[in-house]
Chains A and B, each alone.
Chain A
Amino acid sequence: MNRLEATHLLVSVLEDEPIVASLGHPAYDLFAAGDRPANFYTWGSMGLASSIGLGLALARPDIRVFVADGDGSLLMNLGSLATIGWTRPSNLVVIVWDNGEYGTTGGQDTATAHGADLDAAARAMGVTATVTVSTAGAFGAAIARARVEPGPWVIVAKVAESAPAVKPPLDCVFIKQRFMAAIGQPEAATRGGGA
Protein backbone atom coordinates (compact mmCIF):
# COMPACT_ATOMS: atom_id res chain seq x y z
CA MET A 1 0.00 0.00 0.00
CA ASN A 2 1.40 3.35 -0.91
CA ARG A 3 0.31 6.64 0.64
CA LEU A 4 -1.82 7.75 -2.31
CA GLU A 5 -3.68 4.44 -2.35
CA ALA A 6 -4.22 4.68 1.40
CA THR A 7 -5.40 8.27 1.07
CA HIS A 8 -7.90 7.23 -1.61
CA LEU A 9 -9.17 4.59 0.78
CA LEU A 10 -9.46 7.10 3.61
CA VAL A 11 -11.46 9.56 1.54
CA SER A 12 -13.72 6.80 0.22
CA VAL A 13 -14.56 5.57 3.74
CA LEU A 14 -15.21 9.04 5.18
CA GLU A 15 -18.25 11.15 4.46
CA ASP A 16 -17.98 14.79 5.36
CA GLU A 17 -15.56 14.53 8.28
CA PRO A 18 -12.79 17.13 8.26
CA ILE A 19 -9.25 16.06 7.42
CA VAL A 20 -6.26 18.18 8.46
CA ALA A 21 -3.28 17.31 6.25
CA SER A 22 0.36 17.82 7.06
CA LEU A 23 2.31 19.90 4.58
CA GLY A 24 3.96 18.45 1.52
CA HIS A 25 3.20 14.99 0.26
CA PRO A 26 0.40 14.10 2.70
CA ALA A 27 -1.46 17.24 1.60
CA TYR A 28 -0.65 16.66 -2.07
CA ASP A 29 -1.96 13.11 -1.93
CA LEU A 30 -5.09 14.22 -0.12
CA PHE A 31 -5.77 16.66 -2.93
CA ALA A 32 -5.00 14.00 -5.54
CA ALA A 33 -7.32 11.53 -3.84
CA GLY A 34 -10.21 13.94 -4.09
CA ASP A 35 -10.38 17.60 -3.27
CA ARG A 36 -13.15 18.34 -0.80
CA PRO A 37 -14.03 21.49 1.17
CA ALA A 38 -13.51 19.71 4.48
CA ASN A 39 -9.81 19.22 3.66
CA PHE A 40 -7.51 21.59 5.51
CA TYR A 41 -4.23 21.62 3.60
CA THR A 42 -1.31 23.06 5.50
CA TRP A 43 1.46 24.70 3.51
CA GLY A 44 3.89 25.14 6.38
CA SER A 45 4.09 24.66 10.14
CA MET A 46 5.66 21.21 9.88
CA GLY A 47 4.68 19.07 12.83
CA LEU A 48 1.53 20.91 13.78
CA ALA A 49 -1.15 18.94 11.90
CA SER A 50 -1.97 16.87 14.97
CA SER A 51 -2.07 20.03 17.10
CA ILE A 52 -4.46 21.74 14.68
CA GLY A 53 -6.58 18.61 14.75
CA LEU A 54 -6.51 18.60 18.54
CA GLY A 55 -7.68 22.20 18.77
CA LEU A 56 -10.44 21.56 16.27
CA ALA A 57 -11.54 18.44 18.12
CA LEU A 58 -11.68 20.37 21.40
CA ALA A 59 -13.69 23.21 19.85
CA ARG A 60 -16.06 20.89 17.99
CA PRO A 61 -16.81 17.81 20.08
CA ASP A 62 -19.80 17.18 17.83
CA ILE A 63 -17.71 16.18 14.81
CA ARG A 64 -14.97 13.58 14.33
CA VAL A 65 -11.71 15.15 13.26
CA PHE A 66 -9.16 13.28 11.11
CA VAL A 67 -5.51 14.23 10.75
CA ALA A 68 -3.27 12.99 7.96
CA ASP A 69 0.18 13.39 9.46
CA GLY A 70 3.60 12.13 8.43
CA ASP A 71 6.15 10.24 10.48
CA GLY A 72 8.75 12.96 10.06
CA SER A 73 6.22 15.62 10.96
CA LEU A 74 4.97 13.89 14.09
CA LEU A 75 8.56 13.29 15.16
CA MET A 76 9.02 17.06 15.00
CA ASN A 77 6.20 17.58 17.51
CA LEU A 78 6.19 14.46 19.69
CA GLY A 79 4.92 16.51 22.61
CA SER A 80 1.61 16.64 20.78
CA LEU A 81 1.07 12.99 21.73
CA ALA A 82 1.45 13.91 25.39
CA THR A 83 -1.13 16.68 25.07
CA ILE A 84 -3.53 14.40 23.19
CA GLY A 85 -2.97 11.71 25.82
CA TRP A 86 -3.82 14.21 28.55
CA THR A 87 -6.80 15.95 26.97
CA ARG A 88 -8.12 12.72 25.40
CA PRO A 89 -10.67 14.12 22.95
CA SER A 90 -12.72 11.10 21.96
CA ASN A 91 -13.40 12.61 18.52
CA LEU A 92 -9.80 12.92 17.29
CA VAL A 93 -8.24 10.46 14.85
CA VAL A 94 -4.57 10.96 13.99
CA ILE A 95 -3.39 8.93 11.02
CA VAL A 96 0.37 8.82 10.62
CA TRP A 97 1.61 7.98 7.13
CA ASP A 98 4.77 6.16 8.16
CA ASN A 99 7.04 5.66 5.17
CA GLY A 100 10.26 5.88 7.15
CA GLU A 101 11.46 8.84 5.17
CA TYR A 102 11.20 12.57 4.67
CA GLY A 103 9.44 12.06 1.35
CA THR A 104 8.85 15.72 0.56
CA THR A 105 12.48 16.70 1.03
CA GLY A 106 14.24 14.00 -0.92
CA GLY A 107 13.73 10.74 0.89
CA GLN A 108 16.11 11.02 3.81
CA ASP A 109 15.51 8.37 6.48
CA THR A 110 13.36 9.23 9.48
CA ALA A 111 13.92 7.64 12.87
CA THR A 112 11.07 5.21 12.22
CA ALA A 113 13.31 3.55 9.63
CA HIS A 114 15.70 2.86 12.49
CA GLY A 115 13.46 1.56 15.22
CA ALA A 116 11.36 4.50 16.43
CA ASP A 117 7.81 3.29 17.05
CA LEU A 118 5.16 6.02 16.94
CA ASP A 119 2.36 3.63 17.96
CA ALA A 120 4.30 2.75 21.13
CA ALA A 121 5.06 6.44 21.68
CA ALA A 122 1.35 7.27 21.53
CA ARG A 123 0.56 4.51 24.01
CA ALA A 124 3.32 5.67 26.31
CA MET A 125 1.70 9.12 26.32
CA GLY A 126 -1.71 7.79 27.32
CA VAL A 127 -3.39 7.29 23.96
CA THR A 128 -4.96 3.87 24.29
CA ALA A 129 -6.71 3.47 20.93
CA THR A 130 -3.74 2.82 18.69
CA VAL A 131 -3.08 0.44 15.85
CA THR A 132 -0.34 -0.11 13.30
CA VAL A 133 -1.44 -1.32 9.88
CA SER A 134 0.41 -2.17 6.69
CA THR A 135 -2.28 -3.46 4.34
CA ALA A 136 -5.23 -1.76 2.72
CA GLY A 137 -7.62 -4.20 4.36
CA ALA A 138 -6.31 -3.52 7.85
CA PHE A 139 -6.21 0.21 7.24
CA GLY A 140 -9.78 0.31 5.99
CA ALA A 141 -10.91 -1.65 9.03
CA ALA A 142 -9.04 0.70 11.36
CA ILE A 143 -10.63 3.76 9.78
CA ALA A 144 -14.07 2.21 10.01
CA ARG A 145 -13.55 1.59 13.73
CA ALA A 146 -12.06 5.02 14.36
CA ARG A 147 -15.06 6.70 12.75
CA VAL A 148 -17.38 5.38 15.42
CA GLU A 149 -15.43 4.09 18.42
CA PRO A 150 -14.19 6.47 21.11
CA GLY A 151 -10.74 7.94 20.62
CA PRO A 152 -8.42 9.63 20.59
CA TRP A 153 -7.02 7.31 17.94
CA VAL A 154 -3.52 7.10 16.57
CA ILE A 155 -3.36 4.93 13.46
CA VAL A 156 0.15 4.31 12.19
CA ALA A 157 -0.14 3.30 8.55
CA LYS A 158 3.00 1.81 7.08
CA VAL A 159 3.01 3.08 3.51
CA ALA A 160 5.36 3.37 0.56
CA GLU A 161 6.14 6.78 -0.83
CA SER A 162 3.89 7.71 -3.75
CA ALA A 163 5.56 10.73 -5.38
CA PRO A 164 2.48 12.92 -5.93
CA ALA A 165 2.24 14.96 -9.12
CA VAL A 166 -0.41 17.52 -8.17
CA LYS A 167 -0.71 20.18 -5.50
CA PRO A 168 -3.67 21.61 -3.59
CA PRO A 169 -4.82 25.23 -3.82
CA LEU A 170 -2.13 27.71 -2.79
CA ASP A 171 -4.41 30.39 -1.34
CA CYS A 172 -4.27 29.80 2.41
CA VAL A 173 -7.23 32.04 3.22
CA PHE A 174 -9.33 30.27 0.58
CA ILE A 175 -8.42 26.90 2.12
CA LYS A 176 -9.37 28.14 5.57
CA GLN A 177 -12.65 29.81 4.67
CA ARG A 178 -13.83 26.92 2.51
CA PHE A 179 -12.92 24.52 5.32
CA MET A 180 -14.69 26.50 8.01
CA ALA A 181 -17.84 26.78 5.92
CA ALA A 182 -17.71 23.03 5.22
CA ILE A 183 -17.73 22.16 8.92
CA GLY A 184 -20.59 24.53 9.62
CA GLN A 185 -18.47 27.26 11.12
CA PRO A 186 -18.36 29.95 8.42
CA GLU A 187 -15.79 32.52 9.30
CA ALA A 188 -18.10 35.49 8.97
CA ALA A 189 -19.92 34.22 12.02
CA THR A 190 -16.79 34.64 14.11
CA ARG A 191 -15.95 38.10 12.83
CA GLY A 192 -15.98 41.20 14.97
CA GLY A 193 -14.68 42.50 18.23
CA GLY A 194 -16.04 42.40 21.74
CA ALA A 195 -17.71 39.56 23.51
Chain B
Amino acid sequence: MIVDPQWAQGVCEGVHAAGSRHVVYVPDNPLSHVLRILREHYPDITTTLATREEEAFGIAAGLYLGGARPTVMLQSSGLGNSLNALTSLLVPYKIPALVVISMRGDAGEWNDAQVPMGRAVRPICDAIGLPHATADTPESTSETVRLVGQTAFGTRLPGVCLLPRRLTVPSTAPAPELRRGQASA
Protein backbone atom coordinates (compact mmCIF):
# COMPACT_ATOMS: atom_id res chain seq x y z
CA MET B 1 0.00 0.00 0.00
CA ILE B 2 1.25 3.42 -0.98
CA VAL B 3 1.34 5.96 1.83
CA ASP B 4 0.52 9.52 0.80
CA PRO B 5 3.55 11.63 1.76
CA GLN B 6 2.73 14.64 3.88
CA TRP B 7 4.41 17.06 1.49
CA ALA B 8 2.28 15.75 -1.38
CA GLN B 9 -0.89 16.10 0.66
CA GLY B 10 0.26 19.63 1.41
CA VAL B 11 0.64 20.47 -2.28
CA CYS B 12 -2.92 19.31 -2.92
CA GLU B 13 -4.27 21.27 0.05
CA GLY B 14 -2.41 24.38 -1.05
CA VAL B 15 -3.64 24.16 -4.63
CA HIS B 16 -7.20 23.71 -3.44
CA ALA B 17 -6.93 26.49 -0.87
CA ALA B 18 -5.59 28.86 -3.54
CA GLY B 19 -8.85 28.38 -5.38
CA SER B 20 -7.40 26.36 -8.24
CA ARG B 21 -9.57 23.60 -9.66
CA HIS B 22 -7.60 22.92 -12.84
CA VAL B 23 -4.17 21.31 -12.85
CA VAL B 24 -2.25 20.98 -16.12
CA TYR B 25 0.83 18.84 -15.79
CA VAL B 26 3.73 16.97 -17.23
CA PRO B 27 4.43 14.23 -14.72
CA ASP B 28 7.55 13.29 -12.85
CA ASN B 29 8.20 10.76 -10.15
CA PRO B 30 7.51 12.84 -7.01
CA LEU B 31 4.53 14.53 -8.66
CA SER B 32 2.97 11.11 -9.15
CA HIS B 33 2.06 11.23 -5.47
CA VAL B 34 0.37 14.60 -5.90
CA LEU B 35 -1.53 13.43 -8.97
CA ARG B 36 -2.69 10.27 -7.22
CA ILE B 37 -3.95 12.19 -4.19
CA LEU B 38 -5.74 14.67 -6.44
CA ARG B 39 -7.41 11.82 -8.29
CA GLU B 40 -8.45 10.00 -5.13
CA HIS B 41 -9.39 12.84 -2.81
CA TYR B 42 -10.11 15.96 -4.88
CA PRO B 43 -12.99 15.17 -7.22
CA ASP B 44 -13.55 18.86 -7.86
CA ILE B 45 -10.07 19.32 -9.33
CA THR B 46 -9.63 18.49 -13.01
CA THR B 47 -6.23 17.32 -14.23
CA THR B 48 -5.05 17.58 -17.82
CA LEU B 49 -1.87 16.01 -19.14
CA ALA B 50 0.15 18.06 -21.62
CA THR B 51 2.67 16.56 -24.01
CA ARG B 52 5.28 19.12 -22.99
CA GLU B 53 5.57 21.94 -20.54
CA GLU B 54 5.22 24.82 -23.00
CA GLU B 55 1.91 23.36 -24.10
CA ALA B 56 0.84 23.10 -20.46
CA PHE B 57 1.33 26.84 -20.03
CA GLY B 58 -0.65 27.53 -23.19
CA ILE B 59 -3.55 25.45 -21.87
CA ALA B 60 -3.26 27.20 -18.51
CA ALA B 61 -3.46 30.59 -20.21
CA GLY B 62 -6.64 29.55 -21.96
CA LEU B 63 -8.11 28.28 -18.71
CA TYR B 64 -7.44 31.64 -17.10
CA LEU B 65 -9.07 33.52 -19.96
CA GLY B 66 -12.11 31.37 -19.30
CA GLY B 67 -12.23 32.37 -15.65
CA ALA B 68 -10.32 29.50 -14.05
CA ARG B 69 -7.34 29.66 -11.72
CA PRO B 70 -4.89 27.28 -13.34
CA THR B 71 -2.11 25.32 -11.71
CA VAL B 72 0.79 23.98 -13.77
CA MET B 73 2.92 21.13 -12.41
CA LEU B 74 6.22 20.14 -13.94
CA GLN B 75 9.70 18.94 -13.23
CA SER B 76 12.45 21.56 -13.16
CA SER B 77 13.91 20.16 -16.38
CA GLY B 78 10.71 21.31 -18.09
CA LEU B 79 11.19 24.94 -17.14
CA GLY B 80 13.50 25.22 -20.13
CA ASN B 81 10.70 23.94 -22.35
CA SER B 82 8.37 26.56 -20.92
CA LEU B 83 10.28 29.78 -21.36
CA ASN B 84 8.76 31.10 -24.56
CA ALA B 85 5.26 30.54 -23.24
CA LEU B 86 6.08 32.28 -19.99
CA THR B 87 7.95 35.24 -21.46
CA SER B 88 5.80 35.94 -24.51
CA LEU B 89 2.35 34.95 -23.24
CA LEU B 90 1.77 34.71 -19.51
CA VAL B 91 4.07 37.52 -18.38
CA PRO B 92 3.24 40.22 -20.97
CA TYR B 93 -0.51 39.49 -20.89
CA LYS B 94 -0.42 39.31 -17.08
CA ILE B 95 -1.93 35.83 -17.01
CA PRO B 96 -1.35 34.16 -13.64
CA ALA B 97 -0.80 30.53 -12.80
CA LEU B 98 0.22 28.63 -9.72
CA VAL B 99 3.36 26.83 -10.86
CA VAL B 100 4.54 23.83 -8.84
CA ILE B 101 8.00 22.63 -9.82
CA SER B 102 9.44 19.34 -8.64
CA MET B 103 13.17 19.92 -8.42
CA ARG B 104 15.91 17.88 -9.98
CA GLY B 105 19.57 18.77 -9.88
CA ASP B 106 19.57 20.09 -6.33
CA ALA B 107 20.95 18.46 -3.17
CA GLY B 108 20.65 14.71 -3.43
CA GLU B 109 20.77 14.58 -7.21
CA TRP B 110 22.59 11.63 -8.79
CA ASN B 111 22.02 12.37 -12.49
CA ASP B 112 24.58 14.75 -13.99
CA ALA B 113 22.22 15.66 -16.81
CA GLN B 114 19.76 17.18 -14.32
CA VAL B 115 22.24 19.44 -12.57
CA PRO B 116 22.68 22.38 -14.98
CA MET B 117 18.97 23.20 -15.19
CA GLY B 118 18.45 22.46 -11.53
CA ARG B 119 21.11 25.04 -10.72
CA ALA B 120 19.54 27.52 -13.16
CA VAL B 121 15.91 27.36 -12.01
CA ARG B 122 16.02 30.19 -9.50
CA PRO B 123 18.21 32.51 -11.63
CA ILE B 124 15.87 31.92 -14.58
CA CYS B 125 12.82 32.76 -12.49
CA ASP B 126 14.56 35.92 -11.28
CA ALA B 127 15.61 36.85 -14.81
CA ILE B 128 12.09 36.66 -16.21
CA GLY B 129 10.52 38.26 -13.17
CA LEU B 130 8.68 35.33 -11.61
CA PRO B 131 8.49 35.23 -7.83
CA HIS B 132 9.44 31.89 -6.34
CA ALA B 133 9.31 30.25 -2.94
CA THR B 134 10.61 26.92 -1.73
CA ALA B 135 8.60 24.45 0.30
CA ASP B 136 11.07 23.67 3.05
CA THR B 137 9.29 21.10 5.19
CA PRO B 138 6.37 18.70 4.82
CA GLU B 139 4.51 20.68 7.48
CA SER B 140 4.86 24.02 5.69
CA THR B 141 4.23 22.84 2.13
CA SER B 142 0.48 23.44 2.14
CA GLU B 143 0.87 27.01 3.36
CA THR B 144 3.70 27.80 0.94
CA VAL B 145 1.75 26.54 -2.05
CA ARG B 146 -1.35 28.41 -0.97
CA LEU B 147 0.51 31.68 -0.47
CA VAL B 148 2.32 31.42 -3.80
CA GLY B 149 -1.05 30.87 -5.47
CA GLN B 150 -2.67 33.72 -3.59
CA THR B 151 0.04 36.11 -4.74
CA ALA B 152 -0.04 34.79 -8.30
CA PHE B 153 -3.78 35.19 -8.74
CA GLY B 154 -3.87 38.45 -6.81
CA THR B 155 -1.07 40.11 -8.75
CA ARG B 156 -1.72 38.36 -12.07
CA LEU B 157 1.72 36.90 -12.55
CA PRO B 158 2.76 33.26 -12.55
CA GLY B 159 4.14 32.30 -9.14
CA VAL B 160 6.50 29.41 -8.64
CA CYS B 161 6.62 27.01 -5.70
CA LEU B 162 9.70 24.81 -5.73
CA LEU B 163 9.66 21.32 -4.21
CA PRO B 164 13.28 20.40 -3.42
CA ARG B 165 14.45 16.81 -3.51
CA ARG B 166 15.17 16.85 0.19
CA LEU B 167 11.41 17.30 0.56
CA THR B 168 10.14 14.91 -2.08
CA VAL B 169 12.61 12.02 -2.08
CA PRO B 170 12.21 9.73 0.92
CA SER B 171 15.30 9.21 3.04
CA THR B 172 14.78 5.47 2.63
CA ALA B 173 15.49 5.71 -1.11
CA PRO B 174 18.52 3.64 -2.14
CA ALA B 175 21.81 5.48 -2.27
CA PRO B 176 22.52 6.73 -5.78
CA GLU B 177 25.68 4.62 -6.08
CA LEU B 178 23.57 1.50 -5.83
CA ARG B 179 21.35 2.58 -8.67
CA ARG B 180 24.11 3.50 -11.06
CA GLY B 181 25.42 0.81 -13.37
CA GLN B 182 29.12 0.10 -13.76
CA ALA B 183 30.52 1.12 -17.13
CA SER B 184 33.55 -0.67 -18.48
CA ALA B 185 36.71 1.42 -18.69
Q: Could you list which residues of chain A lie within 8 angstroms of chain B, going by C-beta atoms?
A: 20, 40, 42-60, 77, 79-80, 82-83, 86-87, 172-173, 175-176, 179-180, 183, 185, 187, 189-195
Contacts and interface: CB of A to CB of B under 8 A. Distances in A.
B50 A79 contact: yes
Q: Mostly helix, strand, loop or mixed at chain A's interface?
A: helix
Interface stretch (B81-89, B107-115, B161-169): B81-89
Interface of B: 16-19, 22, 24, 46, 48-52, 54-55, 57-70, 84-85, 87-89, 92-95, 149-151, 153-154, 156
Nearest to B154: A193
A191 B65 contact: no
Contact of A48 (B22, B58, B63, B67): B58
B49 A86 contact: yes
Contacts of A173: 92-94
Contacts of B18: 193-195
Contact of B55 (A44, A83, A185, A192): A83
Contacts of A44: 84, 87-89, 92
A118 to B, nearest CB: 16
Contacts of A57: 62, 66
A51 B58 contact: yes
A79 B55 contact: yes
Contacts of A180: 65, 67
A87 B67 contact: no
Contacts of A185: 65-67
Most buried by A among B59, B67, B94: B59
Pick the 7 closest A-B CB pairs, nearest first: A55-B62, A44-B88, A59-B66, A51-B58, A79-B51, A193-B150, A48-B58
Q: Which of B62, B84, B95, B151 has the most CB of A within 10 A?
A: B62
Contacts of B61: 45, 48, 51-52, 55
Given A83-B48, A192-B153, A48 B95 contact: no
Given A43-B92, A52-B65, A172-B92, A194 B19 contact: yes
